[in-house]
Structure 1
Amino acid sequence: MRYQHIFFDLDHTLWDFEANARNTLEVLYTEFALEELGVPGFDRFHSTYSAHNERLWERFRRGEIKRELLRWKRVWLTLLEFKIADEALARRFGAAFIDLLPSRKQLFPGTLEVLDYLQGKGYPLHLITNGFEETQHLKLRHAGLSAYFTHVVTSESAGSLKPHPGIFRYALELAGTRAVDAVMIGDALAVDIRGARDAGMDQIYFNPAIPAEGITPTYTINSLLELKDIL
């Protein structure tokens, strides 16, 4: 085998974050009666929340804000767009989102089939994720993925965030392998692919919606099942 260890990203690669987050937000939109408070429809709320969430996550990845602020401020900024200046509501909603989201189970097509295939071939499988420690382990458990992975490396456990090389080096050391003997599979060019490349690892880019531009991954796939042709 060309590679001795396989590293995956979790959100947007195996665990369908967009679908699971949308479902969670829709449940909470109803539970918190946001339409009655002046938010005109879930789709408007979702698109506004998603925009603020992405901007705040980018700031979090740069180390400019802490996770506690991220968790409620994305809701606070969204509510402000609809003239709802209620910080207590934003904090309650943010906490409820964190509690409910990990119980969602939707995976990308082919996830279990390809993990079974790789495990059957004897590959040690690992995760490298910027997600929060407790939340990511809950996602894995609820989705039935925990048993596939030898090591789950989060930004919290590594003390470093993708794309910084530190988190990749930490994961490689934990797995007892070298960068040249490992490959990283992920959906984010600037985070998973560039980060792995800078750490000396080969990369497999999985994101059919966004073409690889500005960086050339070692491999590009449009379906997780295409991993069978590479590994």
Structure 2
Amino acid sequence: MNIKAVLFDLDGTLLDRDTSLALFIRNQYERYSQFKFVEKDVFIQRFIELDNHGFVWKDKVYQQLVDEFSIQGVEWTELLKDYLNVFHKYCIGFPNLLNMLTELRDSGIKIALISNGYGQFQYDNFKSLGISHLFDEVLISEWEGLRKPDPAIFIRALSKLGVKATEALFVGDHFENDIRASRAVGMKSAWKRNDTVSFGSIDADVIIDDLGEISRYVLNSLNII
């Protein structure tokens, strides 16, 4: 196996979205006095439940919260705008993110991002992690007019990088959008384990718990370490 490029998903893979979201919503609760009659922990927990790991867009989440808690004095549209403008300030990466990417880059590995989501919002979140200088290409679904699991977005990324599918590894946390989709175009896949999918149902080339395992896996394949 000769890996020349590693491509990454963003949310749940590089970005610790669950922790970041909890930090953001706690701050938003404290900034809006209209929430104060709802117990903080109850509000935060309900937001996280409605968000469903990011699979429910925040317009629906805020509309439901405003209705459910009978929140007065602030429109859901204002809360959504605040989310779009402020969330990136609370984004944090998983442990060993920077070290892993730096090791890959220093070893001559090309690096790219493929993320579903709204262009500027996702790009701001990505930039906030302080890793953009290590990436050769960034593809976000809104800007590309394609979204995972469509094979075309993987093929486009590979073309931009100038590598074959068999020379690339895709790292992600979503079974359909990341693992199955990347393998379908001929790439190797690495699943970043999460608690939403059972271990036995994941057909990936490697399963990791920590990002540091990616650089070791890739460099071992190249007989560098």
Output the TM-score relative to the length of structure 2.
0.87
Q: What is the match of residue 77 of structure 1?
A: 64
1:222 matches 2:209: yes
- Determine the structure 1 residue equivalent to 2:35: 35
CA RMSD of aligned residues (A): 2.1
* Separation of aligned partners in 2, 1:212 and 1:169: 28
Give 1:172's aligned residue. 158
- Give the residue type in structure 2 aligned to 1:217: A
Q: Is the 8 A contact 1:104 1:143 kept in 2?
A: no
Deviation at residue 56 of structure 1 after TM alignment: 7.7
Q: Note the 1:50-199 alignment, pairs <5 A.
A: 50-54=48-52, 57=55, 70-84=57-71, 89-199=75-185
1:100: Cα distance to partner? 0.7
Shift of 1:107: 1.3
Report the Cα offset of residue 188 of structure 1: 1.4
Q: Distance in 1 between matches of 2:52 and 2:186?
A: 28
Question: What is the total number of aligned residue pairs between the two structures?
Answer: 217
Q: Which moved more, 1:186-195 or 1:107-116?
A: 186-195
What pairs with 1:17-28 in structure 2 (closer than 5 Å)? 17-28=17-28
Partner residue, 1:6: 6
C-alpha distance in 1, partners of 2:27/2:167?
A: 43
Unaligned 5+ segments in structure 1 are: 59-69
Residue 27 of structure 1 deviates from its aligned partner by 0.9
Query: What's the TM-score, normalizing by structure 1?
Result: 0.85
CA distance in structure 2 between the aligned counterparts of 1:140 and 1:35, rounded to whole angstroms? 29
Q: 1:199 to 1:50 in 2, by over 3 A?
A: farther
CA distance in 2, matches of 1:213, 1:188: 14
Could you tell me whether the CA contact under 8 Å between 1:9 and 1:185 is conserved in 2? Answer: yes
Distance 1:75 1:227, change over 3 A: same
Deviates more, 1:117-126 or 1:204-213: 204-213
In the alignment, is the contact (CA less than 8 A) between 2:191 and 2:206 conserved in 1? yes
Q: Distance in 2 between matches of 1:56 and 1:215?
A: 21
1:105 deviation in Å? 4.1
- How many angstroms apart in 1 are the aligned matches of 2:53 and 2:135? 30
What is the Cα deviation at residue 21 of structure 1?
Answer: 1.3
Return the offset for 1:85.
Answer: 7.3
C-alpha separation in 2, matches of 1:2 and 1:72: 44
CA distance in 1, matches of 2:215, 2:166: 20
